[in-house]
Structure 1
Amino acid sequence: MSDSRRWLVHSVAPNSESHIPCGSGSEHKMNGAKRSKPVSLNVGGVIYTTSFLTLISYPDSMLARMFEGDLPSAKDRDGNFFIDRDGNLFRYILNYLRTRKIHLPETLVELQQLKDEVDFYQIPTLKEEVCMELARRHEESMVKLLPPNCDSDGYFLDVIEINTVKANMKSLHLIAHADVIRVLPLNPEDYAILQALMEIVKCTDYHPQKSNTGHMWYMGKGCFEIQDLNYLTRVEIAEIVRVHGARLISSSVSFSNSTETNNVQTILVMDKWHVPAYCVQKLRESCMACKALPPGRTVGFLDWNQGD
Protein backbone atom coordinates (compact mmCIF):
# COMPACT_ATOMS: atom_id res chain seq x y z
CA MET A 1 0.00 0.00 0.00
CA SER A 2 1.39 3.38 -1.00
CA ASP A 3 2.35 5.79 1.80
CA SER A 4 0.66 8.61 -0.13
CA ARG A 5 -2.73 6.91 0.17
CA ARG A 6 -5.13 7.70 3.00
CA TRP A 7 -7.40 4.94 4.24
CA LEU A 8 -10.72 5.88 5.82
CA VAL A 9 -12.10 3.00 7.87
CA HIS A 10 -15.67 2.64 9.13
CA SER A 11 -17.26 -0.43 10.65
CA VAL A 12 -20.44 -1.60 8.90
CA ALA A 13 -22.87 -4.21 10.16
CA PRO A 14 -23.03 -7.39 8.05
CA ASN A 15 -25.86 -7.68 5.59
CA SER A 16 -28.60 -9.98 6.79
CA GLU A 17 -30.86 -10.01 3.74
CA SER A 18 -32.05 -13.31 2.30
CA HIS A 19 -30.68 -14.69 -0.95
CA ILE A 20 -32.34 -13.63 -4.16
CA PRO A 21 -34.05 -16.42 -6.07
CA CYS A 22 -32.04 -18.03 -8.82
CA GLY A 23 -33.14 -17.77 -12.42
CA SER A 24 -31.64 -19.22 -15.56
CA GLY A 25 -28.20 -19.15 -13.90
CA SER A 26 -29.18 -21.54 -11.11
CA GLU A 27 -26.46 -23.92 -12.26
CA HIS A 28 -24.05 -21.63 -10.37
CA LYS A 29 -25.51 -22.69 -7.01
CA MET A 30 -22.92 -24.51 -4.90
CA ASN A 31 -22.86 -26.82 -1.94
CA GLY A 32 -21.24 -25.71 1.34
CA ALA A 33 -17.88 -27.36 0.65
CA LYS A 34 -17.43 -25.67 -2.70
CA ARG A 35 -18.50 -22.28 -1.32
CA SER A 36 -15.54 -22.25 1.06
CA LYS A 37 -12.96 -23.14 -1.60
CA PRO A 38 -10.72 -20.46 -3.16
CA VAL A 39 -11.77 -18.94 -6.46
CA SER A 40 -9.68 -16.84 -8.85
CA LEU A 41 -10.97 -13.71 -10.55
CA ASN A 42 -9.55 -11.83 -13.49
CA VAL A 43 -10.84 -8.28 -13.05
CA GLY A 44 -9.67 -6.13 -15.94
CA GLY A 45 -6.41 -8.09 -16.14
CA VAL A 46 -5.68 -8.14 -12.38
CA ILE A 47 -5.91 -11.54 -10.68
CA TYR A 48 -7.58 -11.88 -7.27
CA THR A 49 -8.11 -14.95 -5.10
CA THR A 50 -10.98 -15.14 -2.64
CA SER A 51 -13.85 -17.47 -1.69
CA PHE A 52 -17.34 -17.87 -3.12
CA LEU A 53 -18.72 -17.06 0.33
CA THR A 54 -17.05 -13.66 0.20
CA LEU A 55 -18.30 -12.94 -3.31
CA ILE A 56 -21.93 -13.76 -2.50
CA SER A 57 -21.99 -12.13 0.96
CA TYR A 58 -24.34 -9.39 -0.35
CA PRO A 59 -27.15 -11.40 -1.97
CA ASP A 60 -28.51 -8.52 -4.09
CA SER A 61 -25.10 -7.49 -5.43
CA MET A 62 -23.95 -8.04 -8.99
CA LEU A 63 -21.32 -10.52 -7.78
CA ALA A 64 -23.90 -12.65 -5.96
CA ARG A 65 -26.05 -12.69 -9.08
CA MET A 66 -23.03 -13.74 -11.17
CA PHE A 67 -21.95 -16.61 -8.93
CA GLU A 68 -25.21 -17.83 -7.43
CA GLY A 69 -27.95 -16.06 -9.33
CA ASP A 70 -29.33 -15.37 -12.75
CA LEU A 71 -26.38 -13.69 -14.47
CA PRO A 72 -23.96 -15.72 -16.61
CA SER A 73 -20.27 -15.71 -15.71
CA ALA A 74 -17.35 -15.97 -18.15
CA LYS A 75 -13.85 -17.39 -17.74
CA ASP A 76 -10.53 -16.44 -19.30
CA ARG A 77 -8.24 -18.95 -21.00
CA ASP A 78 -6.58 -19.80 -17.67
CA GLY A 79 -9.87 -20.67 -16.00
CA ASN A 80 -10.22 -17.49 -13.94
CA PHE A 81 -13.68 -15.94 -13.72
CA PHE A 82 -13.53 -12.80 -15.85
CA ILE A 83 -15.06 -9.41 -14.99
CA ASP A 84 -14.48 -6.59 -17.45
CA ARG A 85 -14.10 -3.78 -14.87
CA ASP A 86 -11.28 -1.73 -13.32
CA GLY A 87 -8.92 -4.27 -11.79
CA ASN A 88 -7.05 -1.91 -9.48
CA LEU A 89 -10.19 -0.44 -7.91
CA PHE A 90 -11.67 -3.88 -7.31
CA ARG A 91 -9.43 -4.24 -4.25
CA TYR A 92 -11.65 -1.73 -2.43
CA ILE A 93 -14.74 -3.77 -3.28
CA LEU A 94 -13.12 -7.04 -2.20
CA ASN A 95 -11.74 -5.62 1.06
CA TYR A 96 -15.21 -4.40 1.96
CA LEU A 97 -16.77 -7.79 1.24
CA ARG A 98 -14.13 -9.46 3.40
CA THR A 99 -14.08 -7.14 6.42
CA ARG A 100 -17.21 -4.91 6.26
CA LYS A 101 -14.78 -2.03 6.70
CA ILE A 102 -14.59 0.80 4.19
CA HIS A 103 -11.24 1.85 2.78
CA LEU A 104 -11.36 4.81 0.41
CA PRO A 105 -8.70 6.16 -1.99
CA GLU A 106 -6.91 9.42 -1.35
CA THR A 107 -7.45 11.18 -4.66
CA LEU A 108 -10.80 12.66 -5.64
CA VAL A 109 -10.46 11.26 -9.17
CA GLU A 110 -10.02 7.70 -7.88
CA LEU A 111 -12.88 8.15 -5.43
CA GLN A 112 -15.20 9.21 -8.27
CA GLN A 113 -14.03 6.19 -10.28
CA LEU A 114 -14.72 3.96 -7.28
CA LYS A 115 -18.30 5.30 -7.15
CA ASP A 116 -18.76 4.11 -10.74
CA GLU A 117 -17.46 0.66 -9.75
CA VAL A 118 -19.74 0.48 -6.71
CA ASP A 119 -22.67 1.45 -8.95
CA PHE A 120 -21.84 -1.54 -11.14
CA TYR A 121 -21.41 -4.04 -8.29
CA GLN A 122 -24.62 -2.75 -6.60
CA ILE A 123 -23.57 -2.74 -2.94
CA PRO A 124 -25.86 -0.08 -1.36
CA THR A 125 -24.07 0.41 1.99
CA LEU A 126 -20.71 0.92 0.31
CA LYS A 127 -22.23 3.25 -2.27
CA GLU A 128 -23.75 5.36 0.52
CA GLU A 129 -20.38 5.81 2.23
CA VAL A 130 -18.60 6.63 -1.04
CA CYS A 131 -21.24 9.24 -1.94
CA MET A 132 -21.02 10.87 1.50
CA GLU A 133 -17.23 11.04 1.28
CA LEU A 134 -17.45 12.49 -2.23
CA ALA A 135 -19.80 15.19 -0.95
CA ARG A 136 -17.49 16.00 1.96
CA ARG A 137 -14.41 16.32 -0.24
CA HIS A 138 -16.32 18.34 -2.82
CA GLU A 139 -17.37 20.76 -0.12
CA GLU A 140 -13.76 21.06 1.06
CA SER A 141 -12.69 21.90 -2.49
CA MET A 142 -15.48 24.49 -2.77
CA VAL A 143 -14.26 26.24 0.39
CA LYS A 144 -10.85 26.67 -1.22
CA LEU A 145 -12.53 28.40 -4.19
CA LEU A 146 -14.23 31.05 -2.07
CA PRO A 147 -12.94 34.60 -2.65
CA PRO A 148 -10.66 35.94 0.10
CA ASN A 149 -13.28 38.49 1.22
CA CYS A 150 -16.11 35.94 1.36
CA ASP A 151 -17.77 35.13 4.70
CA SER A 152 -16.44 31.59 5.24
CA ASP A 153 -18.65 31.13 8.32
CA GLY A 154 -21.70 30.57 6.14
CA TYR A 155 -23.20 27.42 4.68
CA PHE A 156 -23.40 25.54 1.40
CA LEU A 157 -26.69 24.88 -0.37
CA ASP A 158 -26.95 22.20 -3.06
CA VAL A 159 -29.90 22.59 -5.42
CA ILE A 160 -30.35 19.53 -7.66
CA GLU A 161 -32.88 19.56 -10.48
CA ILE A 162 -33.79 16.11 -11.81
CA ASN A 163 -35.32 15.96 -15.29
CA THR A 164 -36.83 12.62 -16.33
CA VAL A 165 -36.64 12.76 -20.11
CA LYS A 166 -39.31 10.30 -21.27
CA ALA A 167 -41.81 11.20 -18.56
CA ASN A 168 -41.18 14.92 -19.07
CA MET A 169 -41.06 15.42 -15.29
CA LYS A 170 -38.95 17.65 -13.05
CA SER A 171 -38.27 17.42 -9.33
CA LEU A 172 -36.00 19.31 -6.96
CA HIS A 173 -33.66 18.07 -4.22
CA LEU A 174 -32.21 20.42 -1.61
CA ILE A 175 -29.21 19.62 0.60
CA ALA A 176 -28.12 22.13 3.23
CA HIS A 177 -27.75 22.86 6.92
CA ALA A 178 -31.03 23.15 8.82
CA ASP A 179 -30.37 26.87 9.38
CA VAL A 180 -30.61 27.39 5.62
CA ILE A 181 -33.44 24.98 4.79
CA ARG A 182 -35.68 26.38 7.54
CA VAL A 183 -35.63 29.86 5.97
CA LEU A 184 -36.50 28.70 2.45
CA PRO A 185 -40.15 28.84 1.26
CA LEU A 186 -41.19 25.30 2.16
CA ASN A 187 -44.86 24.50 2.32
CA PRO A 188 -46.30 24.03 5.84
CA GLU A 189 -46.37 20.22 5.53
CA ASP A 190 -42.68 19.95 4.64
CA TYR A 191 -41.73 22.45 7.31
CA ALA A 192 -43.59 20.37 9.93
CA ILE A 193 -41.85 17.18 8.74
CA LEU A 194 -38.46 18.92 8.96
CA GLN A 195 -39.21 20.11 12.50
CA ALA A 196 -40.26 16.59 13.55
CA LEU A 197 -37.12 15.04 12.05
CA MET A 198 -34.96 17.63 13.81
CA GLU A 199 -36.50 16.59 17.13
CA ILE A 200 -35.79 12.92 16.39
CA VAL A 201 -32.12 13.46 15.55
CA LYS A 202 -31.57 15.42 18.75
CA CYS A 203 -31.85 12.11 20.58
CA THR A 204 -29.38 10.15 18.45
CA ASP A 205 -26.15 10.55 16.51
CA TYR A 206 -27.31 8.02 13.93
CA HIS A 207 -27.32 9.15 10.31
CA PRO A 208 -28.60 9.03 7.69
CA GLN A 209 -31.98 9.22 9.42
CA LYS A 210 -35.16 9.12 7.31
CA SER A 211 -38.42 10.92 7.98
CA ASN A 212 -41.68 8.98 8.15
CA THR A 213 -42.61 10.22 4.68
CA GLY A 214 -39.34 8.98 3.21
CA HIS A 215 -38.55 12.15 1.24
CA MET A 216 -36.51 13.90 3.93
CA TRP A 217 -33.19 12.74 5.38
CA TYR A 218 -30.83 13.83 8.13
CA MET A 219 -27.29 13.57 6.71
CA GLY A 220 -25.29 14.39 9.84
CA LYS A 221 -23.66 17.56 11.22
CA GLY A 222 -26.93 19.48 11.11
CA CYS A 223 -27.47 18.93 7.37
CA PHE A 224 -30.68 17.69 5.79
CA GLU A 225 -31.79 16.56 2.34
CA ILE A 226 -35.29 17.16 1.00
CA GLN A 227 -36.23 15.13 -2.07
CA ASP A 228 -38.88 15.43 -4.77
CA LEU A 229 -40.04 19.00 -4.22
CA ASN A 230 -42.58 19.82 -6.91
CA TYR A 231 -43.72 23.29 -5.82
CA LEU A 232 -40.36 25.06 -6.19
CA THR A 233 -37.98 25.30 -9.14
CA ARG A 234 -34.24 25.63 -9.37
CA VAL A 235 -34.62 29.13 -10.86
CA GLU A 236 -36.88 30.27 -8.02
CA ILE A 237 -34.48 29.05 -5.32
CA ALA A 238 -31.56 30.67 -7.16
CA GLU A 239 -33.30 34.05 -7.33
CA ILE A 240 -34.36 33.92 -3.67
CA VAL A 241 -30.89 33.20 -2.29
CA ARG A 242 -29.08 35.45 -4.81
CA VAL A 243 -30.99 38.61 -3.94
CA HIS A 244 -30.27 37.97 -0.26
CA GLY A 245 -26.51 37.76 -0.78
CA ALA A 246 -25.68 34.13 -1.62
CA ARG A 247 -22.99 33.36 -4.23
CA LEU A 248 -23.10 30.67 -6.91
CA ILE A 249 -19.90 28.61 -6.53
CA SER A 250 -20.44 25.99 -9.25
CA SER A 251 -23.04 24.59 -11.62
CA SER A 252 -22.87 21.25 -13.41
CA VAL A 253 -24.97 19.05 -15.70
CA SER A 254 -24.86 15.26 -16.03
CA PHE A 255 -26.82 12.69 -18.04
CA SER A 256 -27.44 9.06 -17.12
CA ASN A 257 -29.55 5.97 -17.67
CA SER A 258 -30.84 4.82 -14.29
CA THR A 259 -30.50 1.06 -14.85
CA GLU A 260 -29.98 -1.40 -17.62
CA THR A 261 -33.52 -2.74 -17.18
CA ASN A 262 -35.81 0.30 -17.10
CA ASN A 263 -33.63 2.58 -19.28
CA VAL A 264 -34.91 5.76 -17.59
CA GLN A 265 -32.93 8.70 -18.93
CA THR A 266 -32.35 11.57 -16.53
CA ILE A 267 -30.61 14.93 -16.72
CA LEU A 268 -29.28 16.30 -13.42
CA VAL A 269 -28.45 19.99 -12.97
CA MET A 270 -26.68 20.82 -9.72
CA ASP A 271 -26.01 24.31 -8.37
CA LYS A 272 -23.81 24.79 -5.32
CA TRP A 273 -24.37 28.06 -3.46
CA HIS A 274 -22.42 29.61 -0.62
CA VAL A 275 -24.83 31.24 1.82
CA PRO A 276 -23.02 33.63 4.21
CA ALA A 277 -24.22 34.06 7.78
CA TYR A 278 -25.64 37.54 7.09
CA CYS A 279 -27.56 36.08 4.12
CA VAL A 280 -29.20 33.50 6.40
CA GLN A 281 -30.34 36.31 8.69
CA LYS A 282 -31.86 38.24 5.76
CA LEU A 283 -33.56 35.07 4.54
CA ARG A 284 -34.95 34.50 8.04
CA GLU A 285 -36.47 37.98 8.10
CA SER A 286 -38.09 37.43 4.70
CA CYS A 287 -39.31 34.01 5.83
CA MET A 288 -41.02 35.54 8.85
CA ALA A 289 -42.68 38.13 6.60
CA CYS A 290 -44.00 35.36 4.35
CA LYS A 291 -45.46 33.49 7.31
CA ALA A 292 -47.37 36.64 8.28
CA LEU A 293 -49.33 36.61 5.00
CA PRO A 294 -53.13 36.55 5.19
CA PRO A 295 -54.78 33.08 5.34
CA GLY A 296 -55.13 31.44 1.96
CA ARG A 297 -51.87 32.74 0.51
CA THR A 298 -49.44 30.00 -0.48
CA VAL A 299 -45.81 30.14 0.54
CA GLY A 300 -43.81 30.27 -2.66
CA PHE A 301 -41.77 32.36 -5.06
CA LEU A 302 -44.42 35.05 -5.64
CA ASP A 303 -44.82 35.60 -1.91
CA TRP A 304 -41.10 36.11 -1.49
CA ASN A 305 -41.13 38.80 -4.18
CA GLN A 306 -44.37 40.57 -3.29
CA GLY A 307 -42.53 43.64 -1.99
CA ASP A 308 -40.32 44.03 -5.09
Structure 2
Amino acid sequence: MSNGSTYPPHRRLRGLLLAVVTAVVVAGLGGWLVWRTSGGDGGPPHGAGPPAASRSPGRGAGDASGPGGTDRGPDGKDSPGKGAPHGSLKGKVIVLDPGHNPHNVDHGREIARQVDIGNAHKECDTTGTSTDDGYAEASFSLDVAHRVRTLLQQEGAKVVFTQDDDRRYGPCVDERAAVGNKAHADAAVSLHADGSARGNRGFHVILPARVTAGPAHNAAIVAPSRRLGERLAGRFLAVTGSAPSNYIGHGTGLDVRSDLGGLNLSTVPKVFIECGNMRDPKDAAELTDAHWRQKAARGITEGITDFLTH
Protein backbone atom coordinates (compact mmCIF):
# COMPACT_ATOMS: atom_id res chain seq x y z
CA MET A 1 0.00 0.00 0.00
CA SER A 2 1.20 3.56 -0.59
CA ASN A 3 1.30 4.47 3.14
CA GLY A 4 3.21 1.33 4.01
CA SER A 5 0.44 -0.02 6.26
CA THR A 6 -0.79 -3.64 6.06
CA TYR A 7 -4.28 -5.12 6.25
CA PRO A 8 -5.28 -8.09 8.39
CA PRO A 9 -5.08 -11.43 6.53
CA HIS A 10 -8.86 -11.78 6.17
CA ARG A 11 -9.09 -8.34 4.50
CA ARG A 12 -6.27 -9.21 2.11
CA LEU A 13 -8.10 -12.44 1.18
CA ARG A 14 -11.33 -10.51 0.59
CA GLY A 15 -9.53 -8.06 -1.68
CA LEU A 16 -7.95 -10.90 -3.64
CA LEU A 17 -11.32 -12.62 -4.19
CA LEU A 18 -12.87 -9.35 -5.33
CA ALA A 19 -10.13 -8.84 -7.88
CA VAL A 20 -10.56 -12.40 -9.25
CA VAL A 21 -14.35 -12.02 -9.57
CA THR A 22 -13.94 -8.66 -11.33
CA ALA A 23 -11.47 -10.16 -13.84
CA VAL A 24 -13.83 -13.07 -14.62
CA VAL A 25 -16.78 -10.75 -15.21
CA VAL A 26 -14.79 -8.46 -17.50
CA ALA A 27 -13.39 -11.38 -19.50
CA GLY A 28 -16.82 -12.96 -19.84
CA LEU A 29 -18.42 -9.73 -20.99
CA GLY A 30 -15.70 -9.17 -23.57
CA GLY A 31 -16.11 -12.70 -24.92
CA TRP A 32 -19.88 -12.29 -25.12
CA LEU A 33 -19.52 -9.06 -27.12
CA VAL A 34 -17.13 -10.71 -29.58
CA TRP A 35 -19.49 -13.67 -29.95
CA ARG A 36 -22.51 -11.47 -30.63
CA THR A 37 -20.78 -9.26 -33.18
CA SER A 38 -19.40 -12.28 -35.05
CA GLY A 39 -22.82 -13.90 -35.44
CA GLY A 40 -22.06 -16.62 -32.87
CA ASP A 41 -25.75 -17.16 -32.08
CA GLY A 42 -26.33 -18.61 -35.54
CA GLY A 43 -27.41 -15.25 -36.98
CA PRO A 44 -25.48 -12.74 -39.06
CA PRO A 45 -23.16 -10.07 -37.64
CA HIS A 46 -25.06 -6.94 -36.63
CA GLY A 47 -25.87 -4.76 -39.61
CA ALA A 48 -25.16 -7.56 -42.11
CA GLY A 49 -28.81 -8.32 -42.89
CA PRO A 50 -30.18 -11.86 -43.32
CA PRO A 51 -27.85 -14.75 -44.27
CA ALA A 52 -27.32 -15.06 -48.01
CA ALA A 53 -28.98 -18.49 -48.07
CA SER A 54 -32.21 -17.04 -46.62
CA ARG A 55 -32.60 -14.21 -49.11
CA SER A 56 -35.19 -14.85 -51.78
CA PRO A 57 -33.72 -14.20 -55.23
CA GLY A 58 -35.69 -11.98 -57.56
CA ARG A 59 -37.68 -13.41 -60.42
CA GLY A 60 -35.27 -14.66 -63.04
CA ALA A 61 -32.17 -13.87 -60.97
CA GLY A 62 -29.28 -16.22 -61.42
CA ASP A 63 -31.21 -18.95 -63.21
CA ALA A 64 -31.07 -19.03 -66.97
CA SER A 65 -33.29 -22.11 -67.10
CA GLY A 66 -36.46 -20.52 -65.78
CA PRO A 67 -38.06 -17.86 -63.60
CA GLY A 68 -37.43 -17.57 -59.90
CA GLY A 69 -33.64 -17.89 -59.71
CA THR A 70 -31.84 -20.68 -57.88
CA ASP A 71 -32.21 -22.02 -54.37
CA ARG A 72 -28.87 -23.13 -53.02
CA GLY A 73 -27.74 -24.35 -49.64
CA PRO A 74 -25.61 -22.20 -47.30
CA ASP A 75 -22.44 -23.54 -48.91
CA GLY A 76 -23.58 -22.49 -52.38
CA LYS A 77 -24.53 -26.04 -53.33
CA ASP A 78 -27.83 -27.85 -53.50
CA SER A 79 -28.53 -29.57 -50.21
CA PRO A 80 -29.25 -33.32 -50.28
CA GLY A 81 -32.69 -34.53 -49.27
CA LYS A 82 -33.19 -35.16 -45.57
CA GLY A 83 -34.37 -38.70 -46.21
CA ALA A 84 -31.24 -39.68 -48.14
CA PRO A 85 -28.52 -41.25 -45.98
CA HIS A 86 -25.12 -40.11 -47.21
CA GLY A 87 -23.69 -42.47 -49.85
CA SER A 88 -26.74 -44.76 -49.78
CA LEU A 89 -27.02 -44.81 -53.59
CA LYS A 90 -23.45 -45.79 -54.38
CA GLY A 91 -23.44 -48.27 -57.26
CA LYS A 92 -27.01 -47.41 -58.32
CA VAL A 93 -27.86 -46.20 -61.83
CA ILE A 94 -30.77 -43.79 -62.19
CA VAL A 95 -32.14 -42.46 -65.47
CA LEU A 96 -33.81 -39.05 -65.46
CA ASP A 97 -36.02 -38.29 -68.43
CA PRO A 98 -36.74 -34.54 -68.67
CA GLY A 99 -40.01 -34.32 -70.55
CA HIS A 100 -40.06 -32.85 -74.06
CA ASN A 101 -37.24 -30.62 -75.34
CA PRO A 102 -36.96 -26.81 -75.46
CA HIS A 103 -36.30 -27.06 -79.22
CA ASN A 104 -39.28 -29.26 -80.11
CA VAL A 105 -41.28 -26.16 -81.04
CA ASP A 106 -38.93 -25.62 -83.99
CA HIS A 107 -39.20 -29.18 -85.27
CA GLY A 108 -42.90 -29.89 -85.68
CA ARG A 109 -42.47 -32.24 -88.64
CA GLU A 110 -39.78 -34.33 -86.97
CA ILE A 111 -41.60 -34.80 -83.67
CA ALA A 112 -44.86 -35.65 -85.45
CA ARG A 113 -43.29 -38.83 -86.87
CA GLN A 114 -45.12 -41.91 -85.63
CA VAL A 115 -43.29 -44.52 -83.54
CA ASP A 116 -44.37 -47.96 -82.32
CA ILE A 117 -45.16 -48.05 -78.59
CA GLY A 118 -46.25 -51.70 -78.62
CA ASN A 119 -50.03 -51.42 -78.49
CA ALA A 120 -50.31 -48.39 -80.78
CA HIS A 121 -48.39 -45.78 -82.74
CA LYS A 122 -47.88 -42.27 -81.37
CA GLU A 123 -45.98 -39.10 -82.13
CA CYS A 124 -42.22 -39.21 -81.63
CA ASP A 125 -42.56 -36.42 -79.03
CA THR A 126 -44.61 -33.29 -78.31
CA THR A 127 -43.85 -29.70 -77.42
CA GLY A 128 -45.35 -29.96 -73.94
CA THR A 129 -47.34 -27.23 -72.24
CA SER A 130 -46.49 -23.92 -70.57
CA THR A 131 -47.78 -21.48 -67.98
CA ASP A 132 -49.93 -18.55 -69.10
CA ASP A 133 -46.79 -16.40 -68.73
CA GLY A 134 -44.89 -18.61 -71.18
CA TYR A 135 -42.70 -20.71 -68.86
CA ALA A 136 -42.35 -23.91 -70.88
CA GLU A 137 -42.80 -27.38 -69.45
CA ALA A 138 -39.60 -28.40 -71.25
CA SER A 139 -37.66 -25.74 -69.33
CA PHE A 140 -39.30 -26.72 -66.05
CA SER A 141 -38.59 -30.43 -66.45
CA LEU A 142 -34.96 -29.82 -67.35
CA ASP A 143 -34.44 -27.47 -64.41
CA VAL A 144 -35.88 -29.96 -61.93
CA ALA A 145 -33.88 -32.78 -63.52
CA HIS A 146 -30.65 -30.84 -62.97
CA ARG A 147 -31.55 -30.32 -59.32
CA VAL A 148 -32.43 -34.00 -58.82
CA ARG A 149 -29.20 -35.07 -60.52
CA THR A 150 -27.14 -32.96 -58.11
CA LEU A 151 -28.85 -34.50 -55.09
CA LEU A 152 -28.60 -38.06 -56.40
CA GLN A 153 -24.93 -37.66 -57.24
CA GLN A 154 -24.25 -36.39 -53.74
CA GLU A 155 -25.57 -39.74 -52.53
CA GLY A 156 -23.23 -41.68 -54.83
CA ALA A 157 -25.59 -42.54 -57.69
CA LYS A 158 -24.70 -42.60 -61.36
CA VAL A 159 -27.25 -40.44 -63.17
CA VAL A 160 -28.02 -40.72 -66.89
CA PHE A 161 -30.15 -38.17 -68.79
CA THR A 162 -32.24 -38.99 -71.84
CA GLN A 163 -31.61 -35.41 -73.05
CA ASP A 164 -29.93 -32.34 -71.62
CA ASP A 165 -30.89 -29.64 -74.11
CA ASP A 166 -28.19 -31.15 -76.30
CA ARG A 167 -30.37 -32.33 -79.19
CA ARG A 168 -32.22 -30.59 -81.98
CA TYR A 169 -35.47 -32.22 -80.81
CA GLY A 170 -36.71 -35.22 -78.87
CA PRO A 171 -35.57 -37.91 -78.32
CA CYS A 172 -38.59 -39.88 -79.44
CA VAL A 173 -40.51 -41.73 -76.75
CA ASP A 174 -39.20 -45.13 -77.81
CA GLU A 175 -35.62 -43.90 -77.58
CA ARG A 176 -36.27 -42.43 -74.14
CA ALA A 177 -37.28 -45.89 -72.93
CA ALA A 178 -34.26 -47.42 -74.66
CA VAL A 179 -31.87 -45.14 -72.73
CA GLY A 180 -33.03 -46.59 -69.42
CA ASN A 181 -32.99 -50.14 -70.76
CA LYS A 182 -29.46 -49.81 -72.14
CA ALA A 183 -28.21 -48.32 -68.86
CA HIS A 184 -29.79 -51.22 -66.90
CA ALA A 185 -31.16 -48.52 -64.64
CA ASP A 186 -32.21 -49.38 -61.12
CA ALA A 187 -34.93 -46.74 -61.50
CA ALA A 188 -36.07 -44.29 -64.16
CA VAL A 189 -38.25 -41.21 -63.69
CA SER A 190 -39.74 -39.02 -66.41
CA LEU A 191 -40.25 -35.44 -65.22
CA HIS A 192 -43.23 -33.37 -66.38
CA ALA A 193 -45.84 -30.75 -65.51
CA ASP A 194 -49.42 -31.05 -66.70
CA GLY A 195 -51.49 -28.76 -68.92
CA SER A 196 -55.01 -29.28 -67.62
CA ALA A 197 -57.88 -26.85 -67.01
CA ARG A 198 -57.81 -23.96 -64.55
CA GLY A 199 -58.87 -25.17 -61.09
CA ASN A 200 -57.34 -28.60 -61.60
CA ARG A 201 -54.50 -28.71 -59.10
CA GLY A 202 -51.91 -31.02 -57.60
CA PHE A 203 -49.36 -33.63 -58.64
CA HIS A 204 -49.75 -37.19 -59.79
CA VAL A 205 -47.45 -40.09 -60.60
CA ILE A 206 -48.16 -42.22 -63.66
CA LEU A 207 -47.58 -45.96 -63.33
CA PRO A 208 -47.22 -48.42 -66.21
CA ALA A 209 -50.06 -50.77 -67.05
CA ARG A 210 -49.07 -54.25 -68.20
CA VAL A 211 -48.41 -54.17 -71.95
CA THR A 212 -47.05 -57.13 -73.91
CA ALA A 213 -47.60 -56.32 -77.56
CA GLY A 214 -45.21 -55.67 -80.43
CA PRO A 215 -41.92 -54.35 -79.01
CA ALA A 216 -43.48 -53.80 -75.55
CA HIS A 217 -42.92 -56.43 -72.86
CA ASN A 218 -43.11 -54.62 -69.54
CA ALA A 219 -44.90 -57.18 -67.34
CA ALA A 220 -41.81 -57.69 -65.18
CA ILE A 221 -41.54 -54.03 -64.21
CA VAL A 222 -45.19 -53.25 -63.40
CA ALA A 223 -44.98 -54.23 -59.71
CA PRO A 224 -41.62 -52.57 -58.93
CA SER A 225 -42.73 -49.47 -60.85
CA ARG A 226 -45.79 -49.23 -58.61
CA ARG A 227 -43.56 -49.40 -55.53
CA LEU A 228 -41.36 -46.68 -57.02
CA GLY A 229 -44.41 -44.55 -57.78
CA GLU A 230 -45.88 -44.97 -54.30
CA ARG A 231 -42.60 -43.98 -52.63
CA LEU A 232 -42.23 -41.05 -55.01
CA ALA A 233 -45.75 -39.78 -54.39
CA GLY A 234 -45.36 -40.11 -50.62
CA ARG A 235 -42.08 -38.23 -50.39
CA PHE A 236 -43.14 -35.57 -52.91
CA LEU A 237 -46.22 -34.86 -50.80
CA ALA A 238 -44.21 -34.75 -47.56
CA VAL A 239 -41.45 -32.45 -48.84
CA THR A 240 -43.39 -30.04 -51.04
CA GLY A 241 -46.67 -29.97 -49.13
CA SER A 242 -48.47 -30.10 -52.49
CA ALA A 243 -51.70 -32.06 -52.54
CA PRO A 244 -52.29 -35.06 -54.81
CA SER A 245 -54.21 -34.25 -57.97
CA ASN A 246 -57.85 -33.28 -57.52
CA TYR A 247 -58.67 -34.36 -61.08
CA ILE A 248 -56.68 -37.56 -61.67
CA GLY A 249 -56.21 -40.59 -59.43
CA HIS A 250 -59.19 -40.05 -57.07
CA GLY A 251 -57.01 -38.38 -54.46
CA THR A 252 -54.31 -41.06 -54.45
CA GLY A 253 -51.81 -39.12 -56.58
CA LEU A 254 -51.43 -42.28 -58.70
CA ASP A 255 -52.62 -43.02 -62.23
CA VAL A 256 -52.12 -46.15 -64.37
CA ARG A 257 -51.76 -45.78 -68.12
CA SER A 258 -51.04 -48.01 -71.11
CA ASP A 259 -50.67 -45.30 -73.76
CA LEU A 260 -47.20 -43.95 -72.93
CA GLY A 261 -44.33 -45.38 -74.94
CA GLY A 262 -41.80 -44.44 -72.27
CA LEU A 263 -43.55 -46.85 -69.88
CA ASN A 264 -44.74 -49.52 -72.33
CA LEU A 265 -41.26 -50.05 -73.76
CA SER A 266 -39.33 -49.87 -70.49
CA THR A 267 -37.66 -52.99 -69.10
CA VAL A 268 -36.56 -51.20 -65.91
CA PRO A 269 -38.78 -49.76 -63.15
CA LYS A 270 -40.07 -46.45 -64.47
CA VAL A 271 -42.73 -43.85 -63.69
CA PHE A 272 -43.74 -40.38 -64.80
CA ILE A 273 -44.36 -37.54 -62.36
CA GLU A 274 -46.58 -34.60 -63.27
CA CYS A 275 -45.44 -32.08 -60.66
CA GLY A 276 -48.46 -29.78 -61.00
CA ASN A 277 -50.77 -28.10 -63.50
CA MET A 278 -49.11 -25.27 -65.39
CA ARG A 279 -52.48 -23.90 -66.51
CA ASP A 280 -53.73 -23.28 -62.98
CA PRO A 281 -52.48 -19.95 -61.55
CA LYS A 282 -51.87 -21.32 -58.05
CA ASP A 283 -49.94 -24.35 -59.29
CA ALA A 284 -48.10 -22.17 -61.81
CA ALA A 285 -46.94 -19.87 -59.01
CA GLU A 286 -45.23 -22.86 -57.40
CA LEU A 287 -43.84 -24.35 -60.59
CA THR A 288 -42.18 -21.05 -61.53
CA ASP A 289 -40.63 -20.58 -58.07
CA ALA A 290 -37.04 -21.81 -57.71
CA HIS A 291 -37.43 -22.51 -53.99
CA TRP A 292 -40.41 -24.75 -54.68
CA ARG A 293 -38.60 -26.50 -57.53
CA GLN A 294 -35.77 -27.31 -55.14
CA LYS A 295 -38.28 -28.83 -52.73
CA ALA A 296 -39.75 -30.80 -55.62
CA ALA A 297 -36.27 -32.10 -56.46
CA ARG A 298 -35.73 -33.14 -52.84
CA GLY A 299 -39.06 -34.95 -52.77
CA ILE A 300 -38.25 -36.82 -55.98
CA THR A 301 -34.77 -37.68 -54.72
CA GLU A 302 -36.10 -39.00 -51.43
CA GLY A 303 -38.76 -41.06 -53.22
CA ILE A 304 -36.17 -42.69 -55.48
CA THR A 305 -33.89 -43.28 -52.50
CA ASP A 306 -36.67 -44.89 -50.44
CA PHE A 307 -37.44 -47.22 -53.33
CA LEU A 308 -33.82 -48.25 -53.81
CA THR A 309 -32.87 -48.66 -50.14
CA HIS A 310 -35.94 -50.28 -48.56
* TM-score (norm: length of structure 1): 0.24
Q: Max radius of gyration: which structure?
A: 2
Which structure has greater strand proportion? Answer: 1
Task: Say which structure, 1 or 2, has more relative contact order (CA 8 Å, 6+ apart).
Answer: 2
TM-score computed with the length of structure 2 as normaliser: 0.24
